[in-house]
Copies of this chain bind each other. A is one copy, B any other.
Amino acid sequence: MNNMQIIKTQDAHCAHDKRVSCGNCRLNAICLPISLHVEDIDRLNSIVQRSKPLQKGEYLYRASDEFDSVFAIRSGAVKAVSISDKGDEQVTGFYLPGEVVGMDGLADNVYTNSVIALETSSVCEIPFNRLEELSLQIPTLQRHFFQLMSREITQDQQVITLLSKGSAEARIATLLLSISSRNGRRNLSTNDFILPMSRTDIGNFLGLTIETVSRIFTRLQKSNLIAVDKKEITIIDMEVLRNIANGND
């Protein structure tokens, strides 16, 4: 814990703040509006804090913490989980580099999810008050955040559709394709990637037991649609996988 503090301080206030800026971040095509002027990017950059490298299992924030920032994932991966009244966890989403998490907290000024690092991850913290002020001055930025939130809504609704209609196989296939295409956005391989989350997290997110997740992975592997080696996934037949995801068996 103390260790972490030290790392944080070094990593963030010394190294990161100087190295990285929104202007030169290779993720800015994903997390920034393309039409932002250079000087506006600088203004945004000036409110962004890069002070939070997280170790695996560490919390970025916890449900019921006071909301004050949204966070862009810069490297690594995180999961958002909410706790039901009964006390059990529900994974509500996975967030990869370039994606923004924390927008659930705005509604009641309190986060409804906890966000936990799935691996060592660094994030950009964007204080929402400052972002709000800046959005009043930069219409494009206001529009961008409306769009970011809208995208979160449409994605959540796609998950609703998946859970409402899809078989276990379709759910797994859809998740794999989702991660694949999100890797594509970052110019990483769409056919070969490491799953950042455990089978348990996958099952929790998709409403399946861990046993079912495991069985589906082996089934998809036996059908020669994917190759599974621990957390490494190779998509062998993208087309058939898409059909399965869409429920066309």
Contact = CB atoms under 8 A, between A and B. Distances in A.
Interface of A: 82, 84-86, 88, 90, 92-93, 103-107, 112-113, 132, 135-136, 139, 142-143, 145-147, 149-154, 156-161, 163-165, 204-207, 246-248
A153 B103 contact: yes
Nearest to A105: B150
Nearest to A93: B157
19 contacts: A82-B157, A84-B161, A88-B165, A90-B164, A90-B165, A104-B154, A107-B154, A113-B157, A136-B136, A136-B142, A145-B146, A152-B153, A153-B153, A153-B156, A163-B164, A164-B205, A164-B206, A164-B207, A165-B207
A142 B147 contact: no
Nearest to A247: B86
Interface SS of A by simple majority: helix
Contact of A92 (B142, B151, B161, B205): B161
Given A90-B164, A92-B160, A107-B147, A247 B153 contact: no
Contact of A112 (B135, B143, B157, B164): B157
A147 B106 contact: yes
Given A163-B164, A164-B206, A146 B106 contact: yes
A232 B132 CA distance: 44
A147 B146 CA distance: 10
Given A246-B84, A248-B86, A103 B150 contact: yes
Contacts of A156: 153, 156-157, 159-160
Contacts of A113: 157
Contacts of A145: 146
B150 A142 contact: no
A204 B164 CA distance: 8
Contacts of A107: 147, 150-151, 153-154
A157 B104 contact: yes
Nearest to A143: B132
A12 B88 CA distance: 49
Contacts of A154: 104, 107, 112
Contacts of A105: 150
A104 B106 CA distance: 17
